[in-house]
Amino acid sequence: MAGIGFELRKLSGHDSIFQTLASFGHAAVVAAGPWLFTILSLAAITVLTEPIAGLAQLATFRVTVIYAFAVSLVAAAPVTIVATRLAANALWQKRAQDIPTLLIGALVLAALLAGGAALLLALSLQPPIQVAMALVACSVIVALIWVALCFAGTIRDYVGVTMSFILGLLCSVCAAIVAVLYGQQATSMVWGFNLGLAITFFSMAWRVIATFPHAVGSPLAAVGIILAGIRSYWQLAAGALLGTAGVWADKWIFWLSENGETTETGLLHAPLYDSAMFIASLVLIPSLAAFVVRLETDFFDRYQQYYATISSHGTLGQIEAARSRLARFTIENFTFITIAQVGYCAILVLTAPLIVEALNLQFRQTSILRFGGLGAVFHFIFIACSSMVLFFDRRVIYMLLQGLFLLANAGLTLYSLQAGEDYYGVGYFLACVLCGFVAYRAADVTFQRLNFLTFIGNNPSVTEAARRKVRRWPGR
């Protein structure tokens, strides 16, 4: 018979619509967590050891740790975000046995990148060898923590994460204090701090490995898998790199400006700006925590309901209703958390002089603290909306948002530097305002166009379909 050569059956084999369910929107939030942890632990150690260690030693210690965190966060970010995505895919495809291999690959690659970057930094700044060694070690351990943290997030082990951090934090603080008591050197404090970090890492990694007790392939092959993943999800890798660099951009610029100071060991920092901004960032913690809780519970339920409506052959009317519920719920909760964030910010702004006094900061840091707090409101909006964009797998948009944040934070911080001391912190604040609004718009458009994106715009089996090809074979 004259045949339809194409197999009708195959046309029904499309389930790629639901690939985005292998979501990892929490990655955007989780990435912010360690940065806050840095601030918390440094604050604790500073307060507890200042009477014994002295300001100069503390400055060296603090700056070394900040360098390690900055370097490892930026250098390992592409690896962690891609590995998180691959792990989410593996879990969605019910291939739990792949998780340990992905973990090992990501750990090796992240350690190499962070260690390499720290080494380059040490070579260029040429601090004493003890400081350089402590810096490289700290960078490597912190990179390992980022990776383990993202895997723990993938399995929703937030209790484990929290416990590991608290345990590590306590050990860090204790070890640093012991180091101060016996060694009285900044590098000893860093090594003590490293010990606590290592405990955090092993605790989290152990929990992940205990969850997936499967055999691991060769580390080289595992690294190959991660590298292949970076090629596939290059927008994620680039987005994470730009985003983490964006978080540090204003600090780096201040370090390199006339406000920059050099520690005894030759490391640059800008205590005037850094300490105020780090404290301001702390107001992000309650909002991000509330957001994660909402994400993991109510939002995720509605998110799954939306896809379940589609897969259980709902009508377009039912799908639209589910989309509308998801969008409305998200906006409402988001608004609620943002209002709370505004409240924290108001408290910070109003009590800034008191905080400055209580923490022995300089009076001129008050306005930086206030701008930092105001910026944090919009920074929360930016992080939360970036997370929404990731939840719906809009990778290019995510990358562009992070790129915008880097550019805006760097550009506006440079501008505010030129405008004078009264405007320190305004750059970060304006960058957060701009990027917060843009990210909100991106998330809003994503929700409005969710049906189109789910079925066509973001559906891999549609977007990756090859172009129709016509080959012509002329006769003789």
Partner 1 sequence: MGIAETIRGRSSGIRSRRGVDARSRLPQADVCLIVEGCYPFVPGGVSAWIDWLFRSEPDATFSVVTLWPKRGPLQPRYQLPANVVGLDLLYLQDFGAAPARHRSAGTQVQRLGDALVDFLEQGSIERFHSVTEQLKAVRSTAPLERLFNSPLAWEVIRHMYERMMPHGSFLHFFWAWRALLGGLFATVEFALPRASLYHTISTGYAGLLAARAGLETGRPVVLTEHGIYTNERRIEILMADWVADTVDKGHNLADARFDIRDMWMRAFEAYARACYGGCARITTLYDDNQRAQRFLGADPARLQVIANGIDVSRFAEVTPAGQGDRPTMALIGRVVPIKDVKTYITTASLLRERVPELRAWVLGPLDEDPGYVGECRALVDELGLAGCVEFAGAVNVVDYLSQIHVVVLSSLSESQPLVVLEAGAAGLPFVATNVGSCREILEGRPDEHPPLGAGGLVTNVVAPAEIADAVAVLLADATMRARFGQSLKARVKRYYTSEQAAAAYGKLYRDLIGNSGRAQSPSAAGGEA
| Chain contacts with partner 1 (rule: CB under 8 A) | 1-12, 14, 17, 310-311, 313-317, 319, 449, 451-452, 455-457, 462-463, 465-476
User: Which two structure tokens, joined as six digits, stand for 469?
Assistant: 């090809």
Shortest Cβ distance from residue 21 to partner 1 (Å)?
14
Q: Which is nearer to partner 1, 8 or 123 (CB)?
A: 8
How deeply is 123 buried, as exposed, middle or buried, from its count of CB atoms within 10 A (0-12, 13-18, 19+)?
Answer: exposed
Q: Which is nearer to partner 1, 7 or 258 (CB)?
A: 7
Q: Which is nearer to partner 1, 213 or 475 (CB)?
A: 475
The residue whose two tokens read 């992940």 is 208
The residue whose two tokens read 């166009």 is 449
How deeply is 354 buried, as exposed, middle or buried, from its count of CB atoms within 10 A (0-12, 13-18, 19+)?
Answer: exposed
CB 325 within 8 A of CB 305: yes
For 475, the 3-state DSSP assignment is coil
**Closest by alpha carbon to 251, among 273, 232, 231, 267?**
273
**Closest by alpha carbon to 376, among 463, 281, 290?**
281
Q: Which is nearer to partner 1, 363 or 473 (CB)?
A: 473
Element (H, E) at 74: helix 55-92
User: Which two structure tokens, joined as six digits, stand for 268?
Assistant: 């640059």
Q: Which is nearer to partner 1, 180 or 310 (CB)?
A: 310
Instruction: Compute the distance between CA of residue 368 and CA of residue 361 in angstroms, rounded to an integer.
Output: 11
Instruction: Compute the distance between CA of residue 64 and CA of residue 139 in angstroms, rounded to an integer.
Output: 10
Q: Which is nearer to partner 1, 312 or 418 (CB)?
A: 312
Q: Which is nearer to partner 1, 98 or 393 (CB)?
A: 393
CB 196 within 8 A of CB 173: yes
CB 218 within 8 A of CB 165: no
How long a stretch of residues is the chain?
476
- Around Cβ 51, how many Cβ atoms within 10 Å? 8
Q: Which is nearer to partner 1, 41 or 309 (CB)?
A: 309
| For helices 129-154 and 158-182, angle between their N-to-C axes, nearest 10 degrees | 160
